[in-house]
Chains A and B, each alone.
Chain A
Amino acid sequence: MSIFGYDPARVTLLRARTIGAIDALAGLHSSDPEAAHALRVARLLRQNLEDTWLPAVDDIVSSTAMCTWRRNAGLTEDAMVRRLGRLVERFDTMSGTTDRARATSLLNGAIDGLLDALRGNGDIGRAHDRLIATALVLTDRADRDPTLAAWLAGLIGADDRWFEAIGRLDEIVRRGLAPDHVSALHPATFVLAIGGGWWSATPERIEFLAHWATRTPIWAEALLDAPWSVDLSVVVGVTRALVLHTSHTSDATMPPRVSDTAERTDALLRLVAGAPAAAAMLLADPGVLAAVATSPRLDPDAVEAVVAAALGGPPMDGSTAHRDQLELLAELVRLTPPGSMAEGAARGLARSVGPFLDELGIHLDTRRPVVIPVGDEQVVLGTYEELAALLGGVLDDPAAQATLGLVLAAHRSEQRDAAVRALREDPARSPTAAVAVMAGHLADTTRILHLVDTAREDRDELHALRFAMARARTDELLGMVGLIPAVGPARAVPLTRQLTTVSTRAVAKAVHAAGPERVPDVGLDRDLAVDFTVVALEAPTRDPVVRRALGLDPVPIERWTEIDSLLDAIASEPDPDERDQLHARVLAVVAGSPDLDAYLETVRSIAGDAGLGG
C-alpha cells in the first residue's frame, strides 16, 4: 500500500524556500491605514505557513526515514573499506547469487559472531562491523535480485537469533558498554529493510515482530527511523502490540526491558496518525480502541491525532471507508462508558465529528437507536442517551469543547450554504417550500445542539463551546488555526472536514487569544438566539436569488441594507450585551416588514432556539 511519497532533496529545498517565504512575509510593513487589510492577509498567510505548512514539512525532515540505513551504517571508514573489499571479493567468487549456502554461512557467521561477542567471547565492535559489512553487501545484491531479497527476508525475518542479538546489543549500547561507533539501530534497520513486506504476508509474521517490539524499544525505534521500509500493516501491527502493552490491557507476560517503551508507543501512534488508512486499521482492533478511548497511560496528543485521523481522515476508497468510519464511531460509543473517556480521545473525537454531523443531524431521534444508512447497509450508532454520554465525555475537556464549538458553527454555516445552493438550483419552487428548505437545513444543526444540551444540562459548563461558536464567524479565529473558509479552492473542502486536521491545542490557543479567559455568563440560549438570527438572515440579505426564492422580494432594499450593516456589526462585536442590543435592533427592523417577520418566525419555530426546548 503506497499512500505517501517524499523526495528527500526536494523536501529539504521546500523547507528552505518555506522559511524564506515566511521571512519575506514578516518583512512586510506599512503604516498606511489603507494597507491594513493587505497586511492582515499577509499575516494570515504567514501564520498558515508557520503553523500548518512548515510543521508538516518539518515532520518529514525530522524523520530520518528519508535516509536509508546504508548512508551511515555505523562503520568506521577503515573498517568499512577493509571489510567491504573482502566480502565483495568473496561474493564475486560465488557462482552468482544462487549460492545460497555461502550467503547463509556468511550471515550465520556474522550473527553468531555478534552473539558470541555479546556473551563475552569476542570483540563487540568487530563483530558489529562484520555484521554490518555483510549486511551492506547482501543488501546491495538483494537490491538487484528480487529472488535473493525474498530469500533473505525469509531467512532473517523469523530468526530469533537476530532479534535476541540486536536486543542485547541495544542494552549494552544504552549502558555505554559498547564502542562509540556501535549502534543497535543499524542492524535493526537492516533487518527491517530486508524483512520489508515479508512480515506483512501473514498475521503470524507481524505478530512475531510485534512480540519482539514489546521486549525491547529498538524495534519501535528502527520503525520510527525508517517507517517506509516496511508495509503499513507491519507498522500498525507493532503499534497495536505496544499500545496494548503500554496500556496494560495486554496479556503480554514479559515486562519491557527499559522504561521508555511508552514513549516509543506514543511516537508510533503519531506515525500511524499520519496515514488515515493505517489509523483506521489500528483502531479497528477493539482492544486498541478501548485502550485509546479510556487509558490514561497513552499520550493525549498522540491519541488525539490517531483518533482524528481514523475518524476524520479523507475517505480513501469511497463508501466502504465511510462505513468503516461510522462503525468505528459506533464502537467508540459502545466501548466508552460514561465518564471514562480519556482526554486525547475526547479531543480527537471533537476534531473529527464534523463530517458525521450531516447524517447525525438527519437521523438523530430521541425515541429509538440512531441508525445511519450506507448504501444498502446500515450502521447502528447507539441510542440517543449513549450518543449524549459520548458527547458528554468530549465536553469534559475544555480544548475539546472549544473545538466542538467551532465544528458546530462550521456545520451550521455549511447547512445554510447547502440550503442556499438548493434554492439557487431550483428557484421555481414556492416561497413556502423554499422557507421549509432553509428551515430544514438549519434544523439539522439545532438537533445536534439539542444533543449537546442533553449531554450537559448545566449550561454554565459550556463556556468554551459557546464562545468558540460565537467567535467562529470571524475570519481572525479561523485564520489563527490556519484555515480560511471563504476563499477560492478552500471551498472545495468543507470547513468541518478541514477542522479534522487542526489540533485542539491550536484551537484552544486561538480561542483564548481571541477573547476573555472566562466568557460572561449570558446563557446558551441567548448566545444561540443571536447566532441563529444572523445565520437565518445572512443568506436572503446578501443574495438576491435567495431573497426571491423565499418570497421576500417585496421587502424594500433600504431594509436589507440596514439589516446588512447590523449583521456586520454583530459579527465584529465581542461584548455580549452590545450584541444583544444589536440583535434587538435587527429584530425591530424585521418586525417592520410583515413578510420578513413571517419568514424569520417560521424558520425559528422549525429550526431555531425553539428547537432546543427553550
Chain B
Amino acid sequence: MDVTPDPELLRRRAAGLRQLADRLATTPALSLDRYGGPETWSSPRADLCRQLLGANRVQLRHAAEDLLTRARRLERRADEAELTLGVLR
C-alpha cells in the first residue's frame, strides 16, 4: 500500500536543510580569504593554500545551493502530499 508522506515532516526537513544551507553560506571559512591575502602572507605555499581554499569555497557554495534545491523539492512534495490528503478526506 502506498503511504502519503507527512507534509509537516517534509516541511520540517526542508526547513532544516534551509537552515544548514544558511549556515554553510555564512560560515566564517568563506571569509578567510579576506584575512589571508598576499598582504598577510606571501609564499608559494601560501599561494597553494589560497588556491585550495578557493576550490573548497566554490564547492561549499555549490553544496549550499544544492541544499536549497533539495529543500525546495521536499516542499514541493509536501504541497503534493497536502493535495493528496485533501482529496482523500
Q: How far is the CB of A430 from chain B (nearest CB, A)?
A: 37
- Interfacial residues of chain A within 486-522, with CB under 8 A of chain B in the complex: 487-490, 492-493, 498, 501
In the complex, the chain B residue whose C-beta lies closest to that of A497 is: B48
Range, interface on chain B:
35 or more
CB-based contact B70/A5 at 8 Å:
no
- B59-89 CB mask vs A (1 if < 8 Å, else 0) is 1101110110010001000000000000000
CB-based contact B66/A38 at 8 Å:
yes
Given known contacts A14-B35, A498-B48, is B67 in contact with A38 (CB within 8 Å)? yes
Q: How far is the CB of A208 from chain B (nearest CB, A)?
A: 29
Interface residue A454 (Cβ < 8 Å from any Cβ of B): no
A37 and B38 CA atoms in complex are apart in Å by 32
CB-based contact B29/A44 at 8 Å:
no
CB-based contact B28/A17 at 8 Å:
yes
Partner of A35, one of B17, B54, B55, B57: B17
Q: How far is the CB of B43 from chain A (nearest CB, A)?
A: 5
CB-based contact A32/B13 at 8 Å:
yes
The B contact surface, by secondary structure, is helix
A53 and B35 CA atoms in complex are apart in Å by 12
- B54: chain A residues at CB < 8 Å are 488-490
In the complex, the chain B residue whose C-beta lies closest to that of A489 is: B54
Q: How far is the CB of B79 from chain A (nearest CB, A)?
A: 17
- Interfacial residues of chain A within 141-181, with CB under 8 A of chain B in the complex: none
The A contact surface, by secondary structure, is helix
Given known contacts A30-B16, A37-B66, A488-B54, is B40 in contact with A11 (CB within 8 Å)? yes
A488 and B51 CA atoms in complex are apart in Å by 9
- Interface size in chain A (residues, C-beta < 8 A): 51
- B46: chain A residues at CB < 8 Å are 56
- A46: chain B residues at CB < 8 Å are 29
Q: How far is the CB of A391 from chain B (nearest CB, A)?
A: 26
CB-based contact A21/B32 at 8 Å:
yes
CB-based contact A21/B59 at 8 Å:
no
In the complex, the chain B residue whose C-beta lies closest to that of A27 is: B23
Q: How far is the CB of A448 from chain B (nearest CB, A)?
A: 24
- Interfacial residues of chain B within 7-65, with CB under 8 A of chain A in the complex: 13, 16-17, 20-21, 23-24, 27-29, 31-32, 35-36, 38-49, 51-60, 62-64
A4 and B38 CA atoms in complex are apart in Å by 10
CB-based contact B74/A34 at 8 Å:
yes
CB-based contact A49/B41 at 8 Å:
no
In the complex, the chain A residue whose C-beta lies closest to that of B12 is: A32
In the complex, the chain A residue whose C-beta lies closest to that of B42 is: A5
Interface residue A20 (Cβ < 8 Å from any Cβ of B): yes
CB-based contact A38/B41 at 8 Å:
no
CB-based contact A53/B41 at 8 Å:
no
Name which of B52, B56, B74 has the most chain A CB atoms within 10 A of its CB. Answer: B56
A19 and B13 CA atoms in complex are apart in Å by 30
In the complex, the chain A residue whose C-beta lies closest to that of B34 is: A17
CB-based contact B23/A34 at 8 Å:
no
Name which of A20, A487, A498 has the most chain B CB atoms within 10 A of its CB. Answer: A487
CB-based contact B53/A53 at 8 Å:
yes
Given known contacts A21-B27, A32-B16, is B59 in contact with A44 (CB within 8 Å)? yes
Q: How far is the CB of A301 from chain B (nearest CB, A)?
A: 16
- B35: chain A residues at CB < 8 Å are 10, 13-14, 17
Partner of A37, one of B16, B41, B43, B63: B63
- A5: chain B residues at CB < 8 Å are 38, 41-43
- B58: chain A residues at CB < 8 Å are 487-489
A483 and B44 CA atoms in complex are apart in Å by 16
Q: How far is the CB of A462 from chain B (nearest CB, A)?
A: 29
CB-based contact A56/B44 at 8 Å:
no
- A489: chain B residues at CB < 8 Å are 51, 54-55, 58
Given known contacts A32-B17, A42-B63, A488-B58, is B28 in contact with A274 (CB within 8 Å)? no
- B47: chain A residues at CB < 8 Å are 314
- A19-34 CB mask vs B (1 if < 8 Å, else 0) is 0111011001010101
CB-based contact B63/A41 at 8 Å:
yes
A175 and B51 CA atoms in complex are apart in Å by 48
Q: How far is the CB of A332 from chain B (nearest CB, A)?
A: 21
CB-based contact B39/A7 at 8 Å:
yes
- A52: chain B residues at CB < 8 Å are 49, 52
A53 and B70 CA atoms in complex are apart in Å by 31
CB-based contact A45/B44 at 8 Å:
no
Q: How far is the CB of A108 from chain B (nearest CB, A)?
A: 40
Given known contacts A17-B32, A34-B70, A41-B63, is B39 in contact with A48 (CB within 8 Å)? no
A13 and B40 CA atoms in complex are apart in Å by 9
CB-based contact B52/A48 at 8 Å:
yes
Interface residue A276 (Cβ < 8 Å from any Cβ of B): yes
Partner of A45, one of B17, B56, B70: B56
A25 and B23 CA atoms in complex are apart in Å by 9
In the complex, the chain B residue whose C-beta lies closest to that of A54 is: B49
Which residues of chain A have a CB within 8 Å of any CB of chain B? 3-7, 10-11, 13-14, 17-18, 20-22, 24-25, 28, 30, 32, 34-35, 37-38, 41-42, 44-46, 48-49, 52-53, 56-57, 60, 274-276, 313-314, 482-484, 487-490, 492-493, 498, 501
9 contacts between A and B (CB under 8 A): A17-B32, A22-B29, A28-B23, A41-B56, A41-B63, A49-B53, A56-B49, A60-B41, A274-B43
Which residues of chain B have a CB within 8 Å of any CB of chain A? 13, 16-17, 20-21, 23-24, 27-29, 31-32, 35-36, 38-49, 51-60, 62-64, 66-67, 70, 74
Leading 10 A-B pairs by shortest Cβ distance: A490-B55, A488-B58, A10-B40, A21-B29, A38-B63, A41-B63, A21-B28, A45-B56, A489-B54, A14-B35
